[in-house]
Structure 1
Amino acid sequence: MPIRIIIAEDSSEIRNYFNKIIQSEADMEVAALAASGAEAVEKALLIKPDIILMDIQMESRTDGIEAIAKIHGKEPAIKAIVLTIHSRDDLLYQAYAAGAMDYIIKTNDVADVLTSIRAVASNSLMLRPEIANKIMSEARRIQETQDQMKEILRVMMKITNTEFEIIKLAYDGYSYKDIATQRLVEETTIRSEIYWILKKFNKNKMKDVIKSLKEINFFETFNLN
């Protein structure tokens, strides 16, 4: 049985180039072509190919990655190979996290392209352990940071101006007493505000809130210093 492949690429020139390469191989066949992530998902779930060659950036910067995640979530047996411009693309980490098994540089030799397809199809892809671990570790770190950022932003939307100023002072290392002095209020007032801040963050101690904010460099990231 030939390896059945879907090519998802928004450039017709590149799409046709890979189509021509694959169709010339006796052990491979192109099952369908797609020009967007949405079309790739639709055809992959309908046709159920062995492999999908997925361009990372199509209708959006992460269109291909989002498509891989959707396909992998519903049909994990469909193996994905990423098509990219260069191997240092920061989006490669996200692609691996979404379920991609390998990547192909669009300008690679034909032999490299075919070798990747055959290796992925036969589950014989060899990736040095240290590289695989680094990729997966970085992919998880990025995903965890993004999830953490989203959760913190969700909470910060509920923070009052006063609470925000107290958080910023605590972030900068000021004690409750120092914060009270700066704000010209009693320390008990600051502690009362801290109580509500902790409730919103679902934390027991202010140092845990600050730790979470520092892990994502919250004030630096959003230029709030």
Structure 2
Amino acid sequence: MIKIIIVDDHVMVRSGLRMLLSGKEDIEVIGEASEGDEGIRKAVELRPDVVLMDLSMPSGKDGLTSAAELKAELPDIAILILTMHDDDEYLFRAIHAGAAGYVLKSAPHEELLGAIRAVSKGDAYLYPTATKRLMKEYMERMKRGESSDQFDSLSEREREVLTFTAKGYANKEIAEQLFISVKTVETHKSNVMEKLGFKSRPELVKYALKKGLLNFE
């Protein structure tokens, strides 16, 4: 039996999900919460297998922050993000926060059920269009002659700056972590962007994820 907690600020959404999931023989909804802090408390108390987490909860702590705090508290829990945001930036921020999966609220019921069962077994799940976009981007880079060898051109310090940047650290925070000046951080970051051919932070996040540089524990 897969035990689930639903965290969403809309009562109707929670009720609809409970009705859908409670009708399945292998799934049991053991709790609900309307915002992140309540969801974390319920998860710590009830120890579900999967937490179904909304991203946007204006009345309380948001899903990304809650997911990161919950993973720190319960590393073995599976967090499945259920959201209306079909956006790569949110996708990678969710994965960075420790989510095991990301499903759109517009997805068919069968897809949601499949995602729940997948993450409960320790697998990862991305909605199909996101997977296609990632594969398309990878193929385009390969066609342009870009390969993982680019990583070898980065110095050890540049790799450290890349990792901290992808994790969301500000330049000042990176400088404090590495005991270097903010100006030096900016120089390393500029070198990384130039060597890898990137123009934005989301590109760095995707690259760092693919290279296994982000620790999601």
Q: What TM-score do the two structures reach when normalised by structure 1?
A: 0.61
CA offsets per residue over residues 11-43 of structure 1, 9 Å max, x none? 111111111111110110101001000111110
Distance 1:55 1:122, change over 3 A: same
> Is 2:169 the counterpart of 1:151?
no
Partner Cα distance (2:84, 2:125) in 1 = 22
What is the letter of the counterpart of residue 53 of structure 2? Answer: M
The residue aligned with 1:118 is 117
4+ aligned runs moved over 4 Å, structure 1: 124-128, 140-143, 212-217
How many residues get paired?
163
Larger Rg: 1
2:184 to 208, 219, 222: 208
SS of the equivalent of 1:103 reads strand
Indicate the percent of aligned positions where both proteins have the same amino acid: 30
What is the letter of the counterpart of residue 111 of structure 1? Answer: E
Distance 1:40 1:126, change over 3 A: closer
The residue aligned with 1:25 is 24
What is the letter of the counterpart of residue 53 of structure 1? Answer: L
More displaced stretch, 87-96 vs 64-73: 87-96
Contact 1:56–1:62 (8 Å) recurs in 2: no
Distance 1:208 1:54, change over 3 A: same
SS of the equivalent of 1:7 reads strand
CA offsets per residue over residues 145-194 of structure 1, 9 Å max, x none? 5313343798xxxxxxxxxxxxxxxxxxxxxxxxxxxxxxxxxxxxxxxx
Partner Cα distance (1:107, 1:150) in 2 = 40
The residue aligned with 1:14 is 13
The residue aligned with 1:180 is none
More displaced stretch, 92-101 vs 81-90: 81-90
Contact 1:149–1:216 (8 Å) recurs in 2: no
Distance 1:91 1:141, change over 3 A: farther
Contact 1:6–1:33 (8 Å) recurs in 2: yes
Partner Cα distance (2:171, 2:32) in 1 = 36
Unaligned runs of 5+ in 1: 135-139, 155-200, 218-225
Question: CA offset at residue 107 of structure 1?
Answer: 1.5
User: Following superposition of structure 1 onto structure 2, how do residues 189-208 of structure 1 map, counting pairs within 5 Å?
Assistant: 202-203=180-181, 208=184
The residue aligned with 1:35 is 34
Ranked by relative contact order (alpha carbons within 8 Å, sequence separation 6 or more), the top structure is 2
